[in-house]
A and B are shown apart, each in its own frame.
Chain A
Amino acid sequence: MIDYKKQVNDNYTLHLINTTRFKQINISVRFTKSYEKNTGAYLKLLERILPFNGTKKYRRIKDINKKLESLYRTSLTSTFFCLSKNMTFEINMGIVNPKYTEDTLLHDSCEMLREILFNPKIEDEQFNGEVFEIEKDNLIKSILNVKDSPDTYGRLKFEEKFLSGTVYAENNYKNIKLFENLENKELYQIYKGLFTDYKVDILVCGDFENLDIQKEISFVMKDVKQNDKTNKDLYYKIKKKEKLEEKESMQIMQSSLFVGCTIDNLTEEERNYRLILYNTILGSMNNSVLFMNVREKNSLCYHVGSYINRFTDTIEIESGINKKNYEKTLSIIDESLRNMEDKKVIETNIVNAKKTIEIAQNDFYDNMNKIMTYYFMNEFTNIPSIEERRLKVKDVTVDEICELAKKVRLSYVFLLEGVNEKN
């Protein structure tokens, strides 16, 4: 059971998500505004700078970590991420519930959160110069290192083209020049802007007394003013494309195949319920159409799966294959998409797919991140509740899935071709 309360203050919105399900309490502070490439690059660096820079009280990273370990390893992590057209800088704290440790743990951990977020060691209106240079250099190297992870690199290259014109086509590898030009003083200005120019959400999930949390959070966030500059229309219209195939070679054994599908004129009802069911049947359940056709019947791959992006109305199919099987695999994927228009195929799978979705829906309550993400996303767009989705997905019919299948177009294919293939 989740007891949710939202409290909108002048300086922040507090989401109290009370559940006895977990022994951990999670506090997530999120600063959000419309995506802007350059600021995004700075915030990406800030996620590395904030703890490593040290604070006024804890001068070095090891001092910070010694303190956190003494607090039963309270975790403090900062992350930058994009939610469609918005970008968010998050600092997340996870603590073991004081019930199992010590009464003062919540307060002491919140003090650490405040120290790291608001009291970094600053000299001459900038972060520590040495830390800045080290973290910037390492960020650049990490970005370039994506080529050492072929699957991730392949996906970046694929999305650059397939989702061009959207945030999803932007990636750090492509925008490496931006990172090379980051300046310390500008980073400090952007950091200060977090407390004046962003929408601020604080999500607390776990088993706690609301009054205790409200008191702690008002202490932590006392110096913040929020300013909502977020984008409330998160949906993109991806242009229908003529099927386009592109390849890039790499010195690897296994080739990675990415197939992008666009969907014409998706309705809200289709996006919220039918598309989930469609994708489960196509490529995410046990005996999905893709799994059966590509792997089981033709032994063409070790893995194959499909994923939806609700903000672009697209489906992405990914598979690891042997390059000699490229044409055949692609033709079977194409055939599988057409199979989805066949009532018999959907009839065979629809009941099972609904049950698979139900398991994932149950899992929602077992996963703090999913719970917090749901309430956070609802600040920007209307996502039906898990129980509403449960009821509506149950009612989706075979005909509705087949109708949806007719709107799906195979639009773009990218092959990261392994040239070291062995037999």
Chain B
Amino acid sequence: MKKIDFNYDEIVNYYKLPNGLRVYLYKTNKTKNFYVTVSTRFGADVMKYKKGNKTYEVTKGSAHFLEHRVMDFSKNKDAADKISEFGSMANAYTTYNGTNYNIFGHENIIENIELLFDRVFKADIKDEDVENERGIILEEYDMYFDDPYFILHNNLSENIFTDSSKRFPVLGTRDGIKSVCGNELRRLYRDFYRIDNMFVIVSGDFNEEEVISFITNYTKDIKVTSDKPKVIKAREKEIVITPYEEISMPVNESKVIVGYKSKMLKDMLDVKQKSILSMVLGNVFGLSGEAYEELNKKGIKRFNWGFENSDGYFLIYFKASTNEIDVFLEIIDKYINKLNMDEEALERKKRAKLSTLILSFENILDVEDRIASEVFTYNKVINDRDNIIKSITFSEVNKLLKSINLESKSVLKIKGE
């Protein structure tokens, strides 16, 4: 067992079991509830992989479809009844980086973990159940595609990325959902729900010895085979697929998104690059920035910005709901070309970032979310974020700023019909 110190009086205990399963335990008496999750590092960004001599293409939306079938309580009524009996709540979600199964409860933690593990480690994926699930997933898909803001982001990603998994939503495509079959889902389950590709997080009020001993015993017979699948990473290119697109749909006010795709630095920590980028964008486009003020004066208030990274690239985006699309694009273009942050702003932004870290252990769901997203993204927990933030220098800020390339740009407009 290793103690991971997150500072501000917060410790997480970490265990790596002989079979490769990683377990993170955050015990606290702040709450009477507990939150248990088991996750696999298999999400929508696995599009192709090699196992042995064979290469497999993954149908779009398979990871999410698999999540629906693994967390299957309609065909496992006894388990569903048990969970209800404990008054617990079970759920699951899929991201690009992984799939998470969770249970939130307040009594019988061991039985809850067992029920969750039974679903995740002993899933039985039958063809007839896959067929029944298709309708539900298509309903979910339709729900998202009624939302112009979802379409905005979804279509920008499809236009700006050449090869990345981000070209498609986590849900996949309509064709993918319609065509994925039981055989493929069973194979993906075998290949990626390997115990050494998974991790467990338990947070809340529980007996640590009891929990770790149960997890160790439950998983001790799960064998790890040597033929580990090798994910074939997408090779994203610098160009964009579609620099401009206009869509008509019944919206009350036009919507617009502009995205810039820029290569990440290879010689600076990802976490540091993301922190700097977030501070710099906030300094210009946030409430304390010049761009925000100008947009505000032009009456453009319903806008936001953000960034994400995929396959070595940042996607920096700005979106708005406005009928003044050209004014919005002009202002974004003006300020993105003069991104800056002086030393006073850097120190101020560092304080703001530190407050987020201090408050990141306020509730057990947030603790789990922080650990899970870090393990999904980096395959490890980043417990020294505050030191990373404190150590950012002005020259590092300038180095990142100089590296930002604004040539690979794409614009998408949604106009009313």
**A residues with CB within 8 A of B:** 21-24, 52, 60-62, 64-66, 69-73, 96, 100-101, 130, 134-135, 137-138, 141-142, 144-145, 147-150, 250-254, 285-287, 295-296, 299, 301-303, 320-322, 349, 351-359, 362-363, 365-367, 418, 421-422
Complex interface: chain B residues within 8 A of A367 (CB): 363
Chain A CB within 10 A, most for which of B84, B251, B302? B84
Q: How far is the CB of A50 from chain B (nearest CB, A)?
A: 14
B253 closest partner in A (C-beta) = A145
What are 15 A-B pairs with beta-carbon distances under 8 A?
Answer: A62-B293, A69-B349, A69-B351, A72-B358, A142-B302, A149-B147, A250-B250, A287-B81, A299-B136, A302-B136, A302-B139, A321-B139, A354-B87, A355-B88, A357-B87
Q: Check if B289 is an interface residue, CB within 8 A of chain A.
A: yes
Q: How far is the CB of A82 from chain B (nearest CB, A)?
A: 23
Is the pair A72, B286 in contact by a Cβ cutoff of 8 Å? no
Complex interface: chain B residues within 8 A of A250 (CB): 250
Among the 9-residue stretches B12-20, B99-107, B268-276, B393-401, the one with 4 or more Cβ atoms under 8 Å from chain A is: B99-107
Given contacts A72-B355, A320-B139, A356-B87, 4 further A-B contacts (CB under 8 A): A96-B359, A147-B251, A287-B81, A356-B89
> Of A147, A299, A366, which contacts B132 at CB under 8 A?
A299
> Of B32, B299, B352, B358, which contacts A362 at CB under 8 A?
B32
A146 closest partner in B (C-beta) = B252
Is the pair A72, B354 in contact by a Cβ cutoff of 8 Å? yes
Complex interface: chain B residues within 8 A of A66 (CB): 288, 348
Q: How far is the CA of A148 from the CA of B322 in the complex (A)?
A: 12
Contacts known (A100-B8, A302-B140); A23 close to B351, Cβ less than 8 A: no
Interface residues of B in 174-210 (CB under 8 A from A): 174
Interface string of B54-98 (1 = CB under 8 A from A): 000000000000000000011000001101111111100000000
Contacts known (A72-B352, A251-B417); A141 close to B146, Cβ less than 8 A: no
B139 closest partner in A (C-beta) = A302
Complex interface: chain B residues within 8 A of A301 (CB): 139
Q: How far is the CA of A296 from the CA of B73 in the complex (A)?
A: 9
Contacts known (A61-B296, A96-B355); A286 close to B136, Cβ less than 8 A: no
Contacts known (A349-B84, A355-B87); A422 close to B142, Cβ less than 8 A: yes
Is the pair B85, A352 in contact by a Cβ cutoff of 8 Å? yes
Q: Check if B31 is an interface residue, CB within 8 A of chain A.
A: yes
Is the pair A362, B106 in contact by a Cβ cutoff of 8 Å? yes
Is the pair B33, A251 in contact by a Cβ cutoff of 8 Å? no
Q: How far is the CA of A295 from the CA of B249 in the complex (A)?
A: 30
Q: Check if B321 is an interface residue, CB within 8 A of chain A.
A: yes
Chain B CB within 10 A, most for which of A101, A253, A322? A253
Q: How far is the CB of A131 from chain B (nearest CB, A)?
A: 9
Is the pair A251, B249 in contact by a Cβ cutoff of 8 Å? yes
Q: Check if B301 is an interface residue, CB within 8 A of chain A.
A: yes
**B residues with CB within 8 A of A:** 8, 30-33, 73-74, 80-81, 83-90, 104-107, 132, 135-136, 139-140, 142-143, 145-149, 174, 249-253, 255, 286-290, 292-293, 296-297, 299, 301-302, 321, 348-349, 351-352, 354-356, 358-359, 361-364, 417
> Of B146, B287, B359, which contacts A62 at CB under 8 A?
B287
B296 closest partner in A (C-beta) = A134
Q: How far is the CA of A100 from the CA of B235 in the complex (A)?
A: 44
Complex interface: chain B residues within 8 A of A322 (CB): 139, 142
Q: How far is the CB of A172 from chain B (nearest CB, A)?
A: 14
Is the pair A359, B105 in contact by a Cβ cutoff of 8 Å? yes
Q: How far is the CA of A188 from the CA of B321 in the complex (A)?
A: 29
Q: How far is the CB of A368 from chain B (nearest CB, A)?
A: 9
Is the pair B253, A141 in contact by a Cβ cutoff of 8 Å? yes
Is the pair B352, A69 in contact by a Cβ cutoff of 8 Å? yes
Chain A CB within 10 A, most for which of B87, B132, B356, B364? B87
Is the pair B252, A147 in contact by a Cβ cutoff of 8 Å? yes
> Of A24, A145, A357, A421, which contacts B302 at CB under 8 A?
A145
Is the pair A150, B106 in contact by a Cβ cutoff of 8 Å? no
Q: How far is the CB of B381 from chain A (nearest CB, A)?
A: 20
Contacts known (A134-B296, A358-B106); A286 close to B88, Cβ less than 8 A: yes
Q: How far is the CA of A175 from the CA of B417 in the complex (A)?
A: 25
Q: How far is the CB of A2 from chain B (nearest CB, A)?
A: 13
> Of A23, A71, A362, A422, which contacts B33 at CB under 8 A?
A362
Q: How far is the CA of A355 from the CA of B80 in the complex (A)?
A: 14
Is the pair B249, A96 in contact by a Cβ cutoff of 8 Å? no
> Of A73, A137, A252, which contacts B355 at CB under 8 A?
A73
Q: How far is the CB of A248 from chain B (nearest CB, A)?
A: 13
Is the pair B289, A62 in contact by a Cβ cutoff of 8 Å? yes
B322 closest partner in A (C-beta) = A141
B107 closest partner in A (C-beta) = A355
> Of B83, B145, B352, which contacts A286 at CB under 8 A?
B83
Complex interface: chain A residues within 8 A of B87 (CB): 352-359
Q: How far is the CB of A25 from chain B (nearest CB, A)?
A: 11
Q: How far is the CA of A351 from the CA of B88 in the complex (A)?
A: 12
Complex interface: chain B residues within 8 A of A303 (CB): 143
Q: How far is the CA of A72 from the CA of B357 in the complex (A)?
A: 11
Contacts known (A73-B351, A138-B301); A355 close to B356, Cβ less than 8 A: no
Q: How far is the CB of B225 from chain A (nearest CB, A)?
A: 35
Is the pair A65, B287 in contact by a Cβ cutoff of 8 Å? yes
Complex interface: chain B residues within 8 A of A62 (CB): 287-290, 292-293
Q: How far is the CA of A142 from the CA of B146 in the complex (A)?
A: 18
Is the pair B362, A24 in contact by a Cβ cutoff of 8 Å? yes
Contacts known (A287-B80, A302-B140); A23 close to B249, Cβ less than 8 A: no
Q: How far is the CA of A145 from the CA of B359 in the complex (A)?
A: 33
Q: How far is the CA of A142 from the CA of B322 in the complex (A)?
A: 10
Is the pair A355, B89 in contact by a Cβ cutoff of 8 Å? no
Q: How far is the CA of A400 from the CA of B289 in the complex (A)?
A: 59
> Of A130, A144, A286, A357, which contacts B90 at CB under 8 A?
A286
Q: How far is the CA of A23 from the CA of B8 in the complex (A)?
A: 9
Q: How far is the CA of A144 from the CA of B323 in the complex (A)?
A: 13
Q: How far is the CA of A233 from the CA of B63 in the complex (A)?
A: 52
Across the A-B interface, give the 4 residue pairs with the lowest CB-CB distance, nearest first. Answer: A355-B87, A251-B250, A352-B84, A65-B288
B414 closest partner in A (C-beta) = A148
Is the pair B80, A363 in contact by a Cβ cutoff of 8 Å? no
Is the pair B358, A22 in contact by a Cβ cutoff of 8 Å? no
Q: How far is the CA of A296 from the CA of B72 in the complex (A)?
A: 10
Complex interface: chain B residues within 8 A of A65 (CB): 286-288
Is the pair A295, B136 in contact by a Cβ cutoff of 8 Å? yes
B301 closest partner in A (C-beta) = A138
Q: How far is the CB of B328 from chain A (nearest CB, A)?
A: 13
Q: How far is the CB of B171 from chain A (nearest CB, A)?
A: 11
Is the pair A320, B359 in contact by a Cβ cutoff of 8 Å? no
Q: How far is the CB of B359 from chain A (nearest CB, A)?
A: 6
